[in-house]
Structure 1
Amino acid sequence: MRHEKGEALLTLALEMQAARAGLTLRQIQERFGVGRRTAMRMRDAVLRVFPQAIETEGEDRQKRWHIPPGTLDRLASVPADELAVLDSAVRLLEAQGRDLDAATLAGLSAKLRAVMPPEHARRVEPDVEALLEAEGLACRPGPRPRLNLDIADALRNALKAGVAVRLTYGSRRDPTPTARLVHPYGVLHGHRHYLVGHQSDPAPEGLRLFSLPRITAIEPLDQPAERPPGFDITAFAKQAFGVFQEDPVDVAWRFSADVAEEARAYAFHPDQTAEDQSDGSLIVRFRAGGLLEMAWHLYTWGDRVEVLSPPELTAMVHPHRQAWGALP
């Protein structure tokens, strides 16, 4: 127990150095799962060892503590399990067709290995290989979109620079690629990958999604991207069960008692609530659009799920559900 406390204090000191704005007491509480008094004792213990720590007060009137860069560099090391997780993330990104993101993360992994002391690197590398082998990472079979790395890189640079882009794009409705002036907001990754933005030329359109594999060319422009005030891509993504955007509705699903425990382990939506019923069943509620994608998912539960609302989803799911039964 004493060693675990020492490890926690060292971790806190490293994170106080990594956080440029410093850490608040609340952040320490949340990070280590402790109460306010324990967080204060941990902070005070670190400050006694590192008196050069800087105390600041932000605009929110909360105090923050930061250890100057370079203070603990020689104490920091990267354990094998963290490197293995990083390498696993690279493999998953490659499996999803996100080769540019995979290459970026692989570069970070290489940089970490480069700054590690040679003796430590030689010691942990066999452990990394063993962890990766034991993890048995397998890719889910099925079609995945292929992304053009040059286009993905140009789009990322345009998003960082905050500029509009001219896309050569072909949609399902109009497969012939045409030039479009688009103001990009961000990218949604999933089974399919989409650029979120609005088109201002040739025909002005509101907020829409552009399938990344359908973009055949991209040209960043010397023109600021127009962005709605307060737009939050995370909040935008929450409006849909998957990617398809439509007006959100109140959704309620009842899972039978024999699959309630399995359903409880799923995160169907970031804002979902779960209600245990007296018969052992489970009702999950959230608000989102994307009824077609919901139906596709619910088919996999067979007759173990009942759609309570909305009625449009009930009509889509129940006849097929009873005909197909549960899918593996």
Structure 2
Amino acid sequence: MPRMKADRLVATLLFLQERGRVTVSEVAAELEVSERTARRDLEALAASGIPVYSQRGRGGGWSLVGGARTNLTGLTAAEIRALFLLTGPLAATPELRTTLRKLVRALPPALRSDAEAAARAAITDATDWFRNAATAEAGHRSLLQGAVVEGRRVRLGYAGVAKPPGVRVVDPLGLVAKAGADYLVAGTESGLRTFRLSRVTSVEPTGEPVERPPDFDLASVWRERAQVIEGGMFAVTARARVAPEALPRLERLLRGRVTVGEPFDDGWTEVRIDGPAHRALAAQLAGFGALIEVLDPPELRRTLARIGAELTALYEPDA
């Protein structure tokens, strides 16, 4: 079905629902089409199985049989496709599969095939290429979603970066998906904190109610927390020269943190690279070996030299 026609059919159906009875000229004026087009659309609705009928004579027009109604409340065909494209990849859970089936049944038959095709157009595979399916993380996410909705406190097992795993009691306030990673925003004894779900080791409901800050708004809080996180990610800026064969790989690895400059006479390229700390950035660049030469800052050069000396001492063959 052409996109514009599908949009008009939805609009015509909703206009019928709103008015109860309409004439061809009223539909044509409302949708800004010719009366011939309006009549064809009304006939198409009737032919598709929607209980629409016409009555001739004075006071006649087109009506929905028995006051039949639709639950689409203003959705256009394009919006229906967008909705099913969005929810289709999420339909791995039984709840969402059931929801999609209900939505499809609510659509006029003329629009169901588009919606079903959109739902099948994409999937989400949560399995990392280098590990088994993240069943534990999915289980933690489900428990935390329930805790947020029900307003229940949990004991959260968590392993921070370079910190031993620990358990703390937190008030789950909201979940955020950011660039393929999920985060929990929660209240703690030290104030609001952000926890990455991939580092959560356990979730145990306590049955106690959450203490929710007054006027808490997840979107506003996340914007503030994200600025703090991003600030830490760009704490160090390195100036380096990169071999031509390594530049595409560097940009893929550190996407968004590499600024490409001018090429040198030898074909290498000057770049600026942002990172969270000297040691962390050095660890990422060390894998490129001699294909990247850091020019500044001196501390990053010294850190790379130490890493090189440690690797040489560890792997150098016995004399």
Larger Rg: 2
